[in-house]
Structure 1
Amino acid sequence: MSSSTSRMPLIDMVKGMACAAIVGHHLAFYGPMSDIAHPLAPVLMAWLYDYGRMAVQVFLVLGGYLAAASLAPQGLARFDHAGNAIAKRFVRLVVPYAVALLLSVVVSALVRPWMEHPSVPEQPTLSQLLANALLLQDIVGEDALSAGVWYVAIDFQLFALGVLLLAGVKALRGAGARGQADRLAQGLVVAGTAASLWVFNRMGTLDMWALYFFGSYGLGMIAHWAVRAPQGRQAQGWLAVMVLLGGVALALDFRGRIVVSTVTALCLVLALRSERVRSWSGFAPLVQLGQMSYSVFLVHFSVCLLVNAVVSHLWPDSPVLNALGMVLAFVLSLAAGRVLYLRVERHVPSWTTALRWQLGLVGAGMLVAVSSHWA
């Protein structure tokens, strides 16, 4: 999800639209403003509540596409050391992540005394803070400190899984020609995608592991290789593989999220194989939103929580004012995301920076918890 490198405008536009859908979904899902404003637009609220979260599948596909572009544009890993690649990804993800979680802890403490609502996170514990800082909250059974935190953990798992798979093939490269190694790496990604779509994604108890989501991520990786393939049978072959993977998955168990993933991957290939589309500068506001989408994704829950608390407290019975409050929360989320992007995300972080912010999250979180307890 990170937008630290230059990307094609179309990809940033798609990310921008998906980001807007996620923010809209959380505004509809986490009240109380949406509960009060619901009568004004019940169809829109219901759609955002039920289907807005499907935009996560778009991010999964794009994540796979961008991972293939950076790690193995032709199938064979171009990085030298798997550990370094994984470590760099972790650091880049967790620095803005820790900043956003710290903001969530502070905002939750501020609104907790005067807003009783299920959307307000409980006072954090030390084990919860540590688990969230290390992206382990769902695995160890701790509550998340903010909405959408699970996705950051899954994104890191998927990237690490892709790196390890590609690194394993690269280590065997001496046993065969380069072309054979490329095909082996791509074949393993296709096999992993099939296993996820056809088996693991149908097992809800696995939804805290990368295997559950690798189907969508793998479709994105395959989409990149399809875009790079020369005209003719090879490009058609990749499209056929994608259709087969998605079609069999839906025949086995129809899931709306897999429809979104498959359609997104196929449309990505068809669009980016066009020179006209690749050279298009895009719609500037959406391109900018896509570039800072990770920061917006991280920080929007805290903004929405604060606006929810203020508006619902001052005007608890006004649908119009609460609807305007939702619009205000959306706009402020974009503004806060831009600040986080400019001040934190776009700068290349170091291990020292990451450790400082993680320790700051845990220490400040415990300080807030103790202060709230004695208040």
Structure 2
Amino acid sequence: MTAAAVVSQADLAHRPQFGWINGLKAGAAQLIVLHHLAFYGPMSDYVQPLWPELLGWLGGSARIAVQVFLVIGGFLVAKSLSPAGRPGIATPLQAIWRRYAKLAPPFLAATLLAAVITPVAGIWMQHDSMSAAVTLGQLSAHALLLHGVLGYESLSAGAWYVAIDFQLYLLTVSLLWLGGRVAGHRRRHWLMPLAVTLGITFSLLYFNLDADWDNWAPYFFGSYGLGMLAWWASDPTRKPGAMTVLMAMAAVPVLLALAVDYRSRIALALIVACALFLFGRARTPSQGAAWNIINTLGRISYAVFLVHFPVSLLVNALFISYVPLEPEWQALGMLTAWGASLAAGAAFYRWVEVPLGRVMGGVVAHLAGRPALVSR
């Protein structure tokens, strides 16, 4: 790391950021944590009489907040791999390895944490939300991000999403590579938007209608592709007519799919894509209490997503064992689990995700034969 530019966390914290994206990520992450707290119990079972409608909504409809991450994922992958929407990618295997090196190490660390905490929580509590004893095959499948495909039980709620995110990235890289092969040296600016629109259409009208596909990327590509089109459509260098066409290419297959079979999760994905088209590229100040909170919560959202479930399990176990089983006391337990999940996510981000990112960034740069640029 000789000529490397090492960017400190303090420097990044004072730069203008994609605040609206951070806000969406922060809000969606909170809903996912609360959804799992409401859905898995057992504290929520005791709180149900106190807040029946709220817990009913959190345990059911709130799960569609994951669509926010899917659309943002597509938006940011287009920004990273094909900012102008052109086909082709110079180093597809390196791009895939970089993505794996970013996602997998903190995910595996969180998986090991869940494997340790689950039997500890089992000292005080037996509940159907708890996984059985971990096996080497199960851990190996998680490390390869193939647990869902290979039929292994996830060791933590939300583990499926990390594997799907990697699959979607792999699918996008493949589309870009194939598009580059088809286009050759010709400038076919509309090839990738058309390919993504076709992918959205097949996803929403076929794969997303069959839950048997929910361990595979095509099931989720409709939402992911909407994010990609939103990035390309929001390019300020494009003419208004081109922007309109691109957003129409996003909206038409979604509206058709909703007419065939209305799915609130897909309607939400379209709303998020429209929001990103309007505000996704906007840089917001990093100063001020409100933006500091939003940017911090957005920054640690992946860490919170990774660690909240084992933390919530432990809090559940302690509260139902040592605290009165009254709705008010168990409601306090749910709020405690929520706060503990945020605190654990912040600690995991600082002490695990960031250091692992630096190490893996150096490894990736070394394998690519260039100086390391370590930034977050």
What's the counterpart of residue 63 of structure 2?
53
What's the counterpart of residue 253 of structure 1?
261
Deviations along 1:271-298, one digit per CA (max 9) or x if unpaired, are 347xxx5445563212211111000000
Q: What secondary structure does 2:41 align onto?
A: coil
Q: Given that residues 311 and 337 in structure 2 are in contact (C-alpha distance below 8 angstroms), is that contact kept between their aligned partners in structure 1?
A: yes
Q: What secondary structure does 2:184 align onto?
A: helix
What's the counterpart of residue 22 of structure 2?
12
Calculate percent identity across the aligned residue pairs.
43
Letter in 1 for 2:202: A
* Uncovered stretches (5+) of structure 2, i.e. residues with no partner: 1-8, 365-376
Which of 151, 163, 167 does residue 153 from structure 1 map onto? 163
What's the counterpart of residue 211 of structure 1?
218
Distance 1:129 1:21, change over 3 A: same
The CA deviation at 1:12 is 0.7
Whole-Å Cα distance in 1 between the matches of residues 50 and 26 of structure 2? 26
The CA deviation at 1:114 is 2.5
What's the counterpart of residue 293 of structure 2?
285
Whole-Å Cα distance in 2 between the matches of residues 62 and 222 of structure 1? 11
What's the counterpart of residue 110 of structure 2?
100
The CA deviation at 1:76 is 2.0
What's the counterpart of residue 359 of structure 1?
none
Which of 286, 298, 318 does residue 306 from structure 2 map onto? 298
Which of 194, 200, 212 does residue 193 from structure 1 map onto? 200
Matched, 1:240 2:248: yes
What's the counterpart of residue 319 of structure 1?
327
Matched, 1:30 2:40: yes
Whole-Å Cα distance in 1 between the matches of residues 37 and 294 of structure 2? 20
Bigger shift: 224-233 or 91-100?
224-233
Distance 1:343 1:78, change over 3 A: farther
Q: TM-score, normalised by structure 2?
A: 0.87
Which of 310, 326, 335 does residue 318 from structure 2 map onto? 310
Q: Given that residues 71 and 77 in structure 1 are in contact (C-alpha distance below 8 angstroms), is that contact kept between their aligned partners in structure 2?
A: no
* Uncovered stretches (5+) of structure 1, i.e. residues with no partner: 355-375
Whole-Å Cα distance in 2 between the matches of residues 57 and 279 of structure 1? 23
The CA deviation at 1:353 is 8.1
What's the counterpart of residue 183 of structure 1?
190
Deviations along 1:334-375, one digit per CA (max 9) or x if unpaired, are 111111111222333429989xxxxxxxxxxxxxxxxxxxxx
What's the counterpart of residue 67 of structure 1?
77
The CA deviation at 1:59 is 0.5
Distance 1:199 1:349, change over 3 A: farther
Matched, 1:342 2:350: yes
Letter in 2 for 1:200: F
The CA deviation at 1:218 is 0.2
Q: What secondary structure does 2:103 align onto?
A: helix
Q: Given that residues 292 and 338 in structure 1 are in contact (C-alpha distance below 8 angstroms), is that contact kept between their aligned partners in structure 2?
A: yes
Q: Given that residues 18 and 56 in structure 1 are in contact (C-alpha distance below 8 angstroms), is that contact kept between their aligned partners in structure 2?
A: yes
Whole-Å Cα distance in 1 between the matches of residues 339 and 172 of structure 2? 35
Q: What secondary structure does 2:199 align onto?
A: helix
Letter in 1 for 2:322: L
Distance 1:264 1:90, change over 3 A: same
Distance 1:59 1:164, change over 3 A: same
Whole-Å Cα distance in 2 between the matches of residues 353 and 111 of structure 1? 36
Counting helix residues as a fraction of each chain, which structure ranks higher? 1
Distance 1:138 1:90, change over 3 A: same
What's the counterpart of residue 227 of structure 2?
220
Whole-Å Cα distance in 1 between the matches of residues 85 and 205 of structure 2? 23
Q: CA RMSD in A?
A: 2.0
What's the counterpart of residue 361 of structure 1?
none
Q: TM-score, normalised by structure 1?
A: 0.87
Q: Given that residues 242 and 266 in structure 1 are in contact (C-alpha distance below 8 angstroms), is that contact kept between their aligned partners in structure 2?
A: no
